[in-house]
Structure 1
Amino acid sequence: MTLNHFCGIITFSLNLVLFASHCNGGNILVFPVDGSHWINMKIVLEELHTRGHNITVIRSSNSWYIPEKSPIYTSITLEMDQGLENFFDIYLQEHMRAQREGASLMTFLKLTKDFLSMITKAHLLWCDATTQIFQNQTLVKKLKDSQYDLVLADPAMGPGALIAKHLKLPLVLNVRWITSGEGHFVLAPSPLSYIPVPGSGLTDKMDFIQRVKNMFFYSIVFFQEKFLIGPIYADLCNRHIEGGCDIVSLLQDADIWLFRSDFVFEFPRPTMPNVVYIGGFQCKPAKPLPADLEEFVQSAGEHGFIIMTLGTLVNALPKEVTDEIASIFAKMPQKVIWRHKGTRPSTLGNNTMIVDWMPQKDLLGHPNIKVFVAHGGTNGVQEAIYYGVPVLGIPLFFDQYDNLLRLQKREAAKVILLDNVNGPNFEKAIRELLYNDSYRQNMQRLSSLHRDQPMPPMDQATFWIEYVIRHKGATHLRTQAYKLPWYSYHCLDVLVVLIAVIMGLLFLVFAVFRFLFCRGGRNRKLKQY
């Protein structure tokens, strides 16, 4: 080995050590959102912790799921006198009751009003909590002295972006939803002619009436952003952010958007270079089941088993619905594992196991799984795609119908609305999924597409977080479009000037011809005299 080779190896090794130490020693401030959003964020934090990053989480004193003490992070707890859990439970029960009674314009308007009221209340509470931070000079000094490398935030609530701006730190968003809806609509061109607004229940193929409906739903989002949520944050920005700001521009100014979706699931649409799609990042190869569950699912033999869960926020469907579902399960040769916290159904069969919790991903990855009965939350839908399990969807609220609609359009799921859930409809749908192989084949094709990536979604997420740490931001990937006024963005000012110039030239040509014509006419008259 020559001296030059030896020196080259030493230099390369030192670069690796320096590079690794800089990436793996990041100091990250995290603003999560509670509920199912925290489940997503926690998975990312666990991975960052294993890679050597130091993590601090801002949480509320009445958090549902975010513990104050954790082996993977330290916490900053904000005192909040009032929580949303009771209000949220009331909203969910009212929402399900209204669905059971059937759709009507008055029901839709009432549910929309209740939803906007709940969301506005949540933003007001968190803005009050953020004010606590900015007014607490000791805490602000502590945050500045901690020398964080970046803020990692869930932008469904806005304080994470405000804190990043106040501390002058790079911002990475763990996102699908922002303060006013789906994140793409403030980041990338979103033509309403083929991009459905969440809540509309539409696909990317719309006729005229459907486009009118899409515009109507967008108007609700616009109203929410401009007249409900925006003013709340504008007041906070004016009081505590130098030069003022608005919440949408703060989010648009984020360095990286880690988007919890992908185009196996989502309809194709325009995007931006600082958007990284990490749909299914929480999915891993299934682990062996606990002995009791394994024995239970194996006891069905070739018939396999079904699992049913409605997520973390819904304890139970209405009693009459659960009784009808249980009676259908009881007639089937499959075994059923049902996550259910309400009153035990009176029609429950011996083939059905009721549980408070289940290892959902490990069950979905089991070779004997046949059907996944689910509410259509983003996590469950992406896990079903990853493991290739057809879905019988019972959407309850928020984005769940839209999520399930995307699977149904790809013929990998069936959807039953809550007002149509009864014995005959449920039995017909689940038997179609069990005995029509096309659903499983279509879902497994989606699974194959989803898995065929150059880098696993979780590795992409951690790479880009560490990228921002290494380069102290990613400003070269951010569009400048949001800094333009709306008339400049659409080039209306250019259009007005061009029209004025063209009209001026036309007027000038007209004036010249008129002058020449009139002058020629006068000359002919003079010659006649």
Structure 2
Amino acid sequence: MCLPGIFIVTLLTLSIPAVHGGKVLVFPQDGSHWINMKVIIEALHSRGHSVSVVRPSDSWYIKETSPHYSSITIDIPGGADEEFFRSFVSRQIQIQREGKSAWTRFSLDMELKDRFSEMHRKVCEMVIQMLENKQLMQSIRETKYDLVLTDPANGGGVVLAHYLNVPLVFNVRWTIHGEAHFAIAPSPLSYVPFPVAELTDNMIFFQRVRNFLVYVIRQHLYKQTVGPHYSALVSRYFGPEVDYFSLFQAADLWLMRVDFVFEFPRPTMPNVIYMGGFQCKPAKPLPQELEEFAQSSGEHGIIIMSLGTLIGQFPHDVADEIAAAFSHLPQKVIWRYKGDRPMPQNDLLGHPKTRLFVAHGGTNGIFEAIYHGVPIVGLPLVFDQPDNLSRMKVKGVAKVVDLATLDRNIFSQALQEVLDEPSYRMNMQRLSRLHRDVPMEPLDTALFWIEFVMRHKGAAHLRTESYRMPWYSYHSVDVMVFLLAVVLFTLCLAKTLCPSLVFLLWRLFQKNK
């Protein structure tokens, strides 16, 4: 290498912040959330960090052996029952299709609430088993982890981080109390729509009423579901005066899995770092058989259909209606079936022949569609999917079809509208340009801030302490009561003194006459 080249390489090397090979303890959420966490774990491993992953013995997605991490397997069921959730989604579809009573839907929702409560109870049991295992905890302490990385959809990692007194970083969109912004940032319900309400940031009066009611009811349900378990756990190890949710709010960093091509404008905080679409990447070449299939579509191109991890197949009547609609299109269709060979969704969405994405509305799929500029026909199923797709609909990049009324004609019209109307693709390509036009790739941003926390042993200077304030101080109720009392006291004093003052002035006037 020539001398100038050596000089440049040396200069670049010296300019890179020094980061030792850190030690990261990961307490993930099983299921589809693991897909996101695994991306970060693999990236941390590639940068020389040592990663340990806590997992239950019956983990749904998290493998015990991996080249990217070592596992700490706790011999206890984790509660993330794959078969229950698949059965739940199937029954939800059936209820929607058959137009069953509101009571039937409510009963199913209560069953889901009970299952989530059971899942959180098992998470707490798992944490207790860890903390009571002196040999395990001694090993964890001796490892001297630099931080705990967790998904706060469960509270296990939060309790573990505070018990170990180690910096805490979230890979987050949802906490145990719902959407993460509402836990950490000011969220005026007048213009910040609560997810699942399917509203925008421009609400008329009755929409604001709905937004408020959905927020209050959901917060009550969340607290009912998780409160008893985490309150007992936190009281046991930190004392009864510690509020379990304050431990969440004390996290050093919130790596948020959205950005503002998806999220509506809203207040945020310095320790919230946006990394929406961090799992997206340029498309790789397709396997030969898929490439040949895509090329055989000619000028019409292909349609991709995938409904996430919980749906292997639709009820036969729904599948028949969808297939019948597809059969009338000139486009070729790749329909994901859950099997041993997963579909390379990101690579297919990035293929130049792809014209349309039929999706259930999971955040991962939505961001992959945004990244590659592919418009969506949405078939929302459960959880946050209807709200996610409603956001895409407002932005003019998606057409949403209700499963309750879906037939071949309705589905065919939705497909044809998105394929034929150029605005859907143009709007999505505009979102794609906005999403990609950033100084750093979202994954690199996430890694920088994780390493920032390692280097500085936390990020307390970015964290507000407002969560420690009682509600009446946070909302300045005590200040307003004090000022009102001063005004009332002044008025009362004036009323009391005024007659005497008038009489005194009258006497002085009479004396001077």
CA distance in 1, matches of 2:434, 2:99: 38
Matched, 1:227 2:203: no
SS of match in other structure, 2:367: helix
Q: Which residue of 2 aligns with 1:301?
A: 298
Matched, 1:450 2:446: no
Shift of 1:118: 2.0
Report 1:302-451 matches (<5 A).
302-341=299-338, 357-451=342-436
CA distance in 1, matches of 2:415, 2:307: 16
Give the counterpart letter for 1:339 in structure 2.
Answer: R
SS of match in other structure, 2:410: helix
Q: Which residue of 2 aligns with 1:97?
A: 94
Q: Does the 8 Å contact 1:237/1:244 carry over to 2?
A: no
Matched, 1:60 2:56: yes
> After the TM superposition, which of the residue ranges 498-507 and 466-475 deviates more from structure 2?
498-507
Shift of 1:126: 0.5
Q: Which residue of 1 aligns with 2:4?
A: none
Matched, 1:466 2:451: yes
Q: Which residue of 2 aligns with 1:145?
A: 142
SS of match in other structure, 2:404: helix
Q: Does the 8 Å contact 1:184/1:271 carry over to 2?
A: yes
Deviations 1:329-352 (A, max 9, x none): 12221111101249xxxxxxxxxx
Deviations 1:102-135 (A, max 9, x none): 3764345334322322221111111111110111
CA distance in 1, matches of 2:62, 2:39: 13
SS of match in other structure, 2:230: helix
Deviations 1:199-235 (A, max 9, x none): 1111212222212211221122221343331231111
Give the counterpart letter for 1:69 in structure 2.
Answer: T
Q: Give the direction of change, closer, same or farther, for the CA distance of 1:526–1:110 in structure 2 (3 Å limit).
A: farther
Q: Which runs of 5+ in 2 are unaligned?
A: 1-6
CA distance in 2, matches of 1:300, 1:14: 48
Q: Percent identity?
A: 52
Q: Which residue of 2 aligns with 1:206?
A: 203
Q: Does the 8 Å contact 1:28/1:55 carry over to 2?
A: yes
CA distance in 1, matches of 2:382, 2:222: 20
Report 1:7-156 matches (<5 A).
19-20=17-18, 23-81=19-77, 83=79, 84-102=81-99, 105-156=102-153
Give the counterpart letter for 1:407 in structure 2.
Answer: M
Q: Give the direction of change, closer, same or farther, for the CA distance of 1:243–1:106 in structure 2 (3 Å limit).
A: closer
Q: Does the 8 Å contact 1:123/1:157 carry over to 2?
A: yes
CA distance in 1, matches of 2:73, 2:243: 25
Give the counterpart letter for 1:490 in structure 2.
Answer: H
Shift of 1:356: 5.3
CA distance in 1, matches of 2:511, 2:432: 90
Q: Does the 8 Å contact 2:77/2:122 carry over to 1?
A: no
> After the TM superposition, which of the residue ranges 452-461 and 231-240 deviates more from structure 2?
231-240
Q: Does the 8 Å contact 1:233/1:246 carry over to 2?
A: no
CA distance in 2, matches of 1:24, 1:50: 13
Q: Which residue of 2 aligns with 1:263?
A: 260
Give the counterpart letter for 2:145 in structure 1.
Answer: Y
CA distance in 2, matches of 1:75, 1:241: 27
Q: Give the direction of change, closer, same or farther, for the CA distance of 1:206–1:147 in structure 2 (3 Å limit).
A: same
Runs of 4+ in 1 over 4 A off after TM superposition: 11-17, 518-527
Deviations 1:132-182 (A, max 9, x none): 011111111111111000000000000101000000000000000000110
Q: Give the direction of change, closer, same or farther, for the CA distance of 1:450–1:502 in structure 2 (3 Å limit).
A: same
Q: Which residue of 1 aligns with 2:494?
A: 509
Shift of 1:13: 9.0
Match of 2:275 among 275, 278, 282: 278
Give the counterpart letter for 1:265 in structure 2.
Answer: F
Aligned Cα RMSD in Å? 2.4
Q: Which residue of 1 aligns with 2:3?
A: none
SS of match in other structure, 1:29: strand
Q: Does the 8 Å contact 2:24/2:148 carry over to 1?
A: yes
Q: Which residue of 2 aligns with 1:5?
A: none
Q: Which residue of 2 aligns with 1:174?
A: 171
Give the counterpart letter for 2:75 in structure 1.
Answer: E
> After the TM superposition, which of the residue ranges 104-113 and 494-503 deviates more from structure 2?
104-113
Give the counterpart letter for 2:405 in structure 1.
Answer: N
Q: Does the 8 Å contact 2:197/2:214 carry over to 1?
A: yes
Give the counterpart letter for 2:379 in structure 1.
Answer: I
Q: Give the direction of change, closer, same or farther, for the CA distance of 1:187–1:147 in structure 2 (3 Å limit).
A: same
Shift of 1:244: 5.0
CA distance in 1, matches of 2:78, 2:167: 31
Give the counterpart letter for 2:251 in structure 1.
Answer: A
CA distance in 2, matches of 1:496, 1:49: 55
Q: Which residue of 2 aligns with 1:350?
A: none
CA distance in 2, matches of 1:517, 1:105: 70
Q: TM-score, normalised by structure 1?
A: 0.91
CA distance in 2, matches of 1:502, 1:374: 59
Q: Which residue of 2 aligns with 1:347?
A: none
Q: Does the 8 Å contact 2:59/2:78 carry over to 1?
A: no
SS of match in other structure, 1:204: coil
